[in-house]
Each structure stands twice: as C-alpha cells, then as structure tokens.
Amino acid sequence: MSQSTVSRRTPRPPSPWKPVKQSRKLSNPNAVVSLNGRWGYLFTAPFFVMFLIFGLAPIIYSVYIAFFNWDALGTQDFIGLDNFTALVADDRFWNAMANTFDIWLMSTIPMLILSISLAAVLHNPYLRGSTFWRTILLVPNITSVLAIAIVFGQLFGRDFGIINDIIGALGFQHIDFVQGTQSSHIAIASMIVWRWTGYNALIFLAAMLAIPGELYESASLDGATKWQQFRYVTLPGLRNTITFVLIVGTIGGLQVFAEPLILGGSYNGGDSGQFSTLTLFLFDQAFVAYKWGYAAAIGIMITFIVAIVSIINFYITRKLAGEKK
C-alpha cells in the first residue's frame, strides 16, 4: 500500500518565481556586488572629497611654500632649505619648543593621574548618583576656552586673585603668575588639566567597565585589598587606554594655542616670551609677520616633533606595561 501510494503521488511543481530569481542571480553573479560597491563609493565619497579639499590640499600647499620666501604681500622666491636652516638657528623657535614641552609635562602627567583616580571613584558600584557625576565631568570640556581663560586669569591674578589670597594667608608673598615663566606655565597647565580631566576620566571609566568582573572576584577571594586589585587588575586592563590617552594628549598638548594666547593677551608670547608656544609662534609668523614660507616650515617641524614624541610615548608605555615586542 505504501509503495503504490508513493508511486501514485505526483511531484509538486516548483514555484514560478524561485527559478526566475535564481536564474537572474546565476546569470550575472557580480551584479549585486557591483551595485553594492557603487553605493559604498557614493556614501563614502563626501568624506574623501572634504579630506582632499580641506586636509590633503593644504598639507601639500604648506610643504610647497615651505621652500619659498613666500610673502603674502607679493614676494615668492624659491630658497630651498633656507627656511629650515633659519628656523634651527632661531632662538624664538627653541624658546617656544621649551615652553611647549614644559606646559605639556605640567598638564599631561597630573591630568593622567587625576583622570584614572576619578574613573576609579566612578567605577565604585555603591556610588550614588553616578550618572549625575559622569555628566558633570563633561561640563569643563564643553565650556568655551575664552570663558575658561578669563576665569583662570582672575583666579591667578596678582593682587586680587583667589590663589594669591590663599598664598598670602599662608604667609607668603603674592606671585605674579603672568610675568613669570614657570608661574605662567602653571596657570596654563591648570587650565588644560581642568578642561580635559573629566573627558579622559570617562574614557578610562569605559575601559574599566570592560574589565571582566570575575578578575576582581578572584582577586578578592585570594585576599587582595582594593589597592592591590587596582594595581594588579585595573591598571593592566587600562594599558591600551593609557597609551591612547597619552598619544592624543601629546598631539593636543604640543599644539596648545588658545590658553596662552588669551592669558598672555598677545601673539608675540609676552614680554619675555614666556607664553610663546610652537603653534602661537607659527601664527605670529604667518598672520602677523606675513612670512608664510617660514610659518609653513614651522608647521612641518611641529608635525615631525609630534610624531617623534608620540612614537616615544607609545614605546615607553608598552615597555612599562611589560608587553614584549
């Protein structure tokens, strides 16, 4: 019975649209891939167009005019490497470099320590109102640089600044933070630290939340204290994040511009050049002295300096973290 029943059954006819769909795919298998590729080019084209116009083209133009005595008022004479040789012999360039590195060291190291500490506090699961505190940390970052400089200029004022009031209450003489070299760098570094500590703290917090909780549980069962858990579990887990923050901080720290300009109140870097940084020196040569070729040479030197310091930072942080190369 079963065999006869099976033999009497007729096969079900295939759906009329399936063979057509399959035959279209088989007839031209690259059609869908080609269409998707064209849409991909279309959607990514705006980025590349903007980059070519506002990114790559200015870089190429800057490299080109760096070999010229390019005066914006009309002189364009090819001088080869004379701009670079003159830059190496320029005391203003070395003074600007020293100021830039001094401000960078005074701001980057404290900012890194404070950011990791704040992130560790926010990582506490028993902290109340954690969302509120995380939001507050972004307020300095979204505040105008001009407003920050004005407020800190009042804080570090010689006669009526709050910082000098505290120094006077402790029995010391008031400090003129604007006129002194180290004191002015402290004021600028404090602005940078206040502005970027909260932002970096949120980056470190995100990295801490990605560390598996089982590691902390195992360390707790082994008798590790909170400090030992932070040292042997949290810090190794932040290795890549510390490297990223250091590199980004280096790029931004070596290009500091707005803070010394507003606090110093001039493009020439102050009476003794204490506010002069690399980018401020570049701006002064480009848009005050109108030496565009010389300013382009300064920009190229800044690029090389940032690249070298970033590579050194990357190498040192990897070595300190114990990663084998």
pTM to 2 decimal places: 0.79
Say which DSSP state 225 is in. -
54-89 per-position pLDDT tens digit = 888 988 999 999 999 988 777 788 998 999 999 999
Distances (CA, A) of 262 to 70, 151, 212, 256: 28, 11, 45, 12
Please name every residue paired with 256 in a beta bridge, in sequence order, or none if there are none.
none
140-174 per-position pLDDT tens digit = 988 888 888 888 888 988 888 899 999 999 988 98
Say which DSSP state 260 is in. H
Q: State residue 189's pLDDT score.
A: 93
Q: Domains in the chain and their CATH numbers? A: 16-65 (no CATH), 85-320 (1.10.3720.10)
220-230 per-position pLDDT tens digit = 888 888 889 88
Sequence-distant (6+) residues with CB within 8 A of 277 are: 96, 99, 100, 103, 256, 257, 260, 269
Give Cα 198 distance to the centre of its chain.
Answer: 14
Q: State residue 255's pLDDT score.
A: 87
Length of the chain: 325
Q: What angle do CA 232, 233, 236 make, to 5 degrees?
A: 80
- Report yes or no: 295 and 282 within 8 Å, Cβ to Cβ: yes
| Torsion-angle region of 239 (φ positive above 0: left; ψ -120 to 50: alpha; else: beta) | alpha
Q: CA 141 to CA 104: how far, in whole Å?
A: 18
Q: State residue 268's pLDDT score.
A: 76
Which portions of the chain are predicted below pLDDT 50? 1-7, 17-26, 324-325
Q: State residue 21's pLDDT score.
A: 46
Long-range own/partner contacts, residues 98-101 (CB < 8 A, 24 or more apart): 99/181, 99/185, 99/260, 99/269, 99/273, 99/274, 99/275, 99/276, 99/277, 100/253, 100/254, 100/256, 100/277, 100/278, 101/254
Q: CA 109 to CA 267: how far, in whole Å?
A: 27
Q: What percent of the chain has pLDDT over 70?
A: 87
Closest to 86 (Cα-Cα) out of 66, 108, 113, 56: 66
